[in-house]
């Protein structure tokens, strides 16, 4: 029975041909496919599809649910944090150790790939990358695995990093040209971070960029010594973005190590907690900007560096914006990394202001202490990995933000290593915020945690004026982008755990949410969808 099903599925897909990523086409979101983690290379997660709009969104109806109950995981580990790819009517998404292919029309499972048990940390998986007929997946124990998109069969696996040294991998690889860009994670044993380009056919290394500079290189002056630099952390946790015209790959790095022990690594600790622009052909650093100099609070600066063009101070510019985990919103000139706007989007008590380069100035009295330092935000941050979205039609940047507190303790006895401290989260909250990129000012706030708790859900915007997300009580939401009021909701009793996506299939616009262990696909009733086609 099972075999028969697989055979049928394979047959129905046999007409598919290889899919090429056209860099120019991916400067903005395609409408009939979602071929990268962010849908396109810009990271905007903004769709021009307008079949669903503020006037008819109330009619959205559930089309199907796919429950990924066969993951072998449960709880937080067993929820869908990946953004699915949609390619030729098939959705590809992941959890740690697991990849699924699901029919986007029906919600039927086409195949399920299960990676063997392994000791890597199973905190999350952001998804897969796709090149031709091949999927690329990073396992918790840091293998890069090439999987046949047709049948879920593994082609090869290549080691990216050493799980015994406490590396673990969560990134959705990003395809740029004939390169599979892979990042790494792992904070607990003072490993150096790095980013690699791998050959899509063989998995071999094409180039490698190290987060920490070598002695004598620019940035090395921000570390006390070579030993500290070699164990300085700076993980490449999240997929980056890419500008095909500038041919610059933008990637982000995590906190320095030892995590809570600033005295062990006096200085800014470059290029940790940084946004870096790399040449995608060579992996060479072109410019860098550091949202969190000398971080001691685990505030990875790995939130999506979102690319858009816009006017600022009367000049049309190529911009990049990040709402960073430390609570600051940054706008940079993406040609050179120069700061244009720095503004807090949440109240914080750790910074003494902003320096001439547009970077917050950390207050040493708020570094972790043996008797505790009460700090806002917590190590979980004013936001985290969850995808933000930017709508060019309104010049608004939307982020799932959090006002929260934590007590940071320094705990190391003797030489600080690993985390060297802990923090004790005190409160949570989740608030969807709209930020005007020109000023960094928050235009509106919509509390999605009226009953407490914290949302890890990402956001999606459409130029028709809809913002999709979810709250902390199991509601999926569509908000009006202009003022944040709720236009539609559906209680699915699981909180959103990924960034929603949208695409056109058979003349209907779908919105797909990941919440807990399930995918929920919504669309307008067919008659309503047909009606919009003729208007």
Partner 1 sequence: MRHHLSRCVTLLVFANALLHAQDQAARAPKKPDPVAAMFGGPDKIDPAAAERGQKIFAPTCGFCHGADAAGKSAPDLIRSQLALHDEGGNLIGPVIHNGRAERGMPAFPNLTNDQIADIAAFLKLRKQATSNRFGYVIQGLLTGNAKAGESYFNGNGKCSTCHSATGDLAGIANRLEPVDLQRRFLSPGPSMMEMFMGKQSKPLPSPKVTVHLPSGETVSGTLVRTDEFYVELKDAAGWHRSVSREGARVEIDDPMSFHREQLAKYTDTDMHNLLAYLETLK
Give CA–CA dist 416/442, Å, rounded. 39
Q: State CA 288 to chain mean position distance.
A: 19
Q: Does 190 bind partner 1 (CB under 8 A)?
A: yes
Choose one: 98-106, 248-256, 309-317, 418-426; the region binding partner 1 (CB under 8 A). Answer: 418-426
Q: Does 65 bind partner 1 (CB under 8 A)?
A: no
For partner 1, the closer of residues 24 and 371 by Cβ is 371
Give CA–CA dist 303/254, Å, rounded. 10
Q: Does 188 bind partner 1 (CB under 8 A)?
A: yes
- Per the structure block, which two tokens stand in for 83? 């953004």
Kindly identify the residues of this chain, within the stretch 434-453, that bind partner 1 according to CB under 8 A.
447, 450-451
Q: Does 73 bind partner 1 (CB under 8 A)?
A: yes
Q: Does 347 bind partner 1 (CB under 8 A)?
A: yes
**Site map for partner 1, 217-246, x if CB under 8 A?**
--------------x---------------
Q: Which of 27, 88, 158, 369 binds partner 1 (CB under 8 A)?
A: 369
Nearest-approach distance from CB 165 to partner 1, in angstroms: 6
Give the number of other Cβ atoms within 10 Å of residue 467's Cβ.
26
Give CA–CA dist 429/468, Å, rounded. 18
What stretch of H or E contains 341? strand 339-344
Q: Does 371 bind partner 1 (CB under 8 A)?
A: yes
Q: Does 422 bind partner 1 (CB under 8 A)?
A: yes
For partner 1, the closer of residues 431 and 529 by Cβ is 431
Q: Catalogue the long-range contacts made by 117-120 (C-beta closer than 8 Å, 24 or more residues apart).
A: 118/163, 119/163, 120/96, 120/163, 120/167, 120/168, 120/169
Active site annotation includes 333:
no
Nearest-approach distance from CB 407 to partner 1, in angstroms: 7
Nearest-approach distance from CB 221 to partner 1, in angstroms: 24
User: Which is it for strands 501-505 and 486-491: parallel, antiparallel or unpaired?
Assistant: unpaired
Which of 40, 190, 295, 298 is catalytic? The answer is 298
Q: Does 372 bind partner 1 (CB under 8 A)?
A: yes
Nearest-approach distance from CB 155 to partner 1, in angstroms: 27
Query: Residue 86 pairs with which residues in a beta bridge?
Result: 34, 91
Q: Which residue from 449, 452, 446, 450 is spatially nearest to 468, judged by alpha carbons? A: 446
Choose one: 209-217, 268-276, 415-423, 523-531; the region binding partner 1 (CB under 8 A). Answer: 415-423
Q: Which of 18, 61, 119, 364 binds partner 1 (CB under 8 A)?
A: 119
Contacts of 217 (CB under 8 A, 6+ apart): none
Q: Which of 20, 204, 221, 424 binds partner 1 (CB under 8 A)?
A: 424
Contacts of 486 (CB under 8 A, 6+ apart): 446, 477, 478, 479, 480
Q: Does 413 bind partner 1 (CB under 8 A)?
A: yes
For partner 1, the closer of residues 164 and 535 by Cβ is 164
Q: Which of 133, 151, 154, 162 binds partner 1 (CB under 8 A)?
A: 162
Q: Does 354 bind partner 1 (CB under 8 A)?
A: no
Q: Does 251 bind partner 1 (CB under 8 A)?
A: no
Choose one: 26-34, 36-44, 67-75, 310-318; the region binding partner 1 (CB under 8 A). Answer: 67-75
For partner 1, the closer of residues 317 and 369 by Cβ is 369
Give the number of other Cβ atoms within 10 Å of residue 513's Cβ.
27
Choose one: 311-319, 323-331, 370-378, 521-529; the region binding partner 1 (CB under 8 A). Answer: 370-378
User: Which is it for strands 285-289 and 129-131: parallel, antiparallel or unpaired?
Assistant: unpaired
Q: Does 77 bind partner 1 (CB under 8 A)?
A: yes
What stretch of H or E contains 308? strand 306-312
- Per the structure block, which two tokens stand in for 115? 């990676």
User: Which is it for strands 143-148 and 154-159: parallel, antiparallel or unpaired?
Assistant: antiparallel
For partner 1, the closer of residues 279 and 473 by Cβ is 473
Q: Which of 370, 439, 483, 507 binds partner 1 (CB under 8 A)?
A: 370
Kindly identify the residues of this chain, within the stretch 473-502, that bind partner 1 according to CB under 8 A.
473-475, 486, 489, 491
Give CA–CA dist 435/390, Å, rounded. 9
The angle formed by the CA atoms of residues 60, 63 and 69, to the nearest 5 degrees, is 125
Give CA–CA dist 352/410, Å, rounded. 21
* SS3 call for 97: coil
Contacts of 201 (CB under 8 A, 6+ apart): none
Choose one: 19-27, 151-159, 248-256, 404-412; the region binding partner 1 (CB under 8 A). Answer: 404-412
| Residue labelled with tokens 């939130």 | 303
Q: Which of 4, 75, 216, 353 binds partner 1 (CB under 8 A)?
A: 75
- Per the structure block, which two tokens stand in for 367? 């570094």
How many residues at the interface with partner 1, by CB under 8 A?
Answer: 56
For partner 1, the closer of residues 123 and 531 by Cβ is 123
Q: Does 348 bind partner 1 (CB under 8 A)?
A: no
Give the number of other Cβ atoms within 10 Å of residue 58's Cβ.
11
CA R_g for the chain: 22
User: Which is it for strands 460-462 and 466-470: parallel, antiparallel or unpaired?
Assistant: antiparallel
Give CA–CA dist 220/145, Å, rounded. 34
Catalytic residues: 298
Q: Which residues bind partner 1 (CB under 8 A)?
A: 73-77, 119-123, 162, 164-166, 188-191, 231, 347, 349, 365, 369-374, 376, 405, 407, 409, 411, 413-415, 417-419, 421-422, 424-428, 447, 450-451, 471, 473-475, 486, 489, 491
């Amino acid at each position: 029975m099972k075999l028969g099903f697989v055979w049928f599925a394979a047959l129905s897909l046999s007409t598919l041909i290889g899919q090429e990523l056209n860099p120019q086409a991916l400067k903005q979101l395609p409408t009939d496919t979602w071929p990268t983690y962010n849908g396109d290379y810009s990271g905007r997660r903004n769709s021009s599809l307008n079949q669903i709009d503020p006037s008819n969104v109330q009619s959205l109806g559930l089309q199907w649910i796919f429950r990924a109950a066969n993951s072998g995981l449960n709880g937080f580990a067993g929820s869908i944090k990946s953004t699915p790819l949609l390619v030729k009517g098939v959705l590809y998404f992941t959890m740690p150790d697991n990849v699924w292919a699901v029919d986007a029309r029906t919600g039927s499972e086409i195949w399920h790939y299960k990676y063997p048990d392994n000791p890597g940390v199973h905190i999350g998986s952001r998804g897969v990358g796709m090149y031709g007929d091949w999927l690329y997946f990073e396992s918790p124990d840091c293998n890069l695995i090439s999987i046949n998109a047709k049948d879920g069969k593994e082609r090869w696996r290549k080691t990216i990093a050493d799980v015994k040294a406490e590396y673990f991998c969560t990134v959705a690889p990003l395809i740029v040209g004939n390169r599979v860009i892979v990042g790494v994670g792992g904070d607990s044993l003072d490993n150096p971070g790095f980013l690699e380009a791998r050959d899509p056919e063989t998995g071999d290394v094409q180039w490698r960029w190290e987060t920490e500079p070598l002695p004598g290189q620019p940035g090395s002056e921000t570390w006390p010594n070579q030993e500290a630099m070699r164990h300085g952390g700076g993980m490449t946790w999240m997929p980056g973005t890419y500008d095909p015209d500038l041919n610059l790959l933008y990637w982000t790095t995590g906190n320095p190590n030892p995590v809570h022990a600033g005295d062990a690594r006096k200085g800014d600790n470059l290029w940790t907690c940084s946004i870096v622009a790399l040449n995608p052909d060579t992996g060479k650093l072109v410019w860098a900007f550091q949202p969190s100099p000398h971080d001691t609070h685990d505030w990875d600066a790995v939130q999506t560096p979102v690319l858009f063009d816009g006017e600022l101070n009367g000049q049309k510019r190529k911009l990049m914006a990040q709402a960073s985990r430390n609570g600051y919103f940054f706008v940079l000139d993406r040609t050179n990394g120069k700061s244009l706007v720095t503004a807090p989007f949440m109240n914080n008590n750790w910074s003494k202001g902003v320096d001439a380069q547009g970077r917050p100035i950390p207050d040493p009295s708020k570094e972790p202490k043996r008797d505790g330092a009460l700090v806002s935000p917590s190590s979980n941050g004013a936001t985290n990995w969850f995808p933000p979205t930017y709508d060019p039609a309104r010049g608004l940047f939307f982020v799932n933000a959090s006002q929260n507190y934590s007590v940071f303790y320094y705990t190391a006895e003797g030489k600080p290593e690993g985390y060297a401290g802990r923090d004790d989260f005190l409160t949570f909250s989740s608030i969807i915020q709209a930020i005007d990129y020109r000023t960094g000012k928050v235009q509106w706030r919509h509390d999605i945690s009226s009953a407490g708790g914290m949302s890890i859900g990402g956001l999606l915007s459409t130029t028709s004026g809809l913002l999709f997300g979810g709250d902390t009580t199991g509601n999926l939401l569509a908000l009006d982008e202009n003022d944040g009021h709720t236009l539609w909701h559906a209680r699915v009793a699981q909180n959103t755990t990924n960034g929603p996506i949208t695409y056109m299939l058979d003349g209907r616009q779908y919105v797909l949410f990941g919440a807990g262990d399930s995918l929920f696909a919504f669309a307008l009733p067919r008659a309503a969808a047909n009606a919009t086609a003729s208007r």
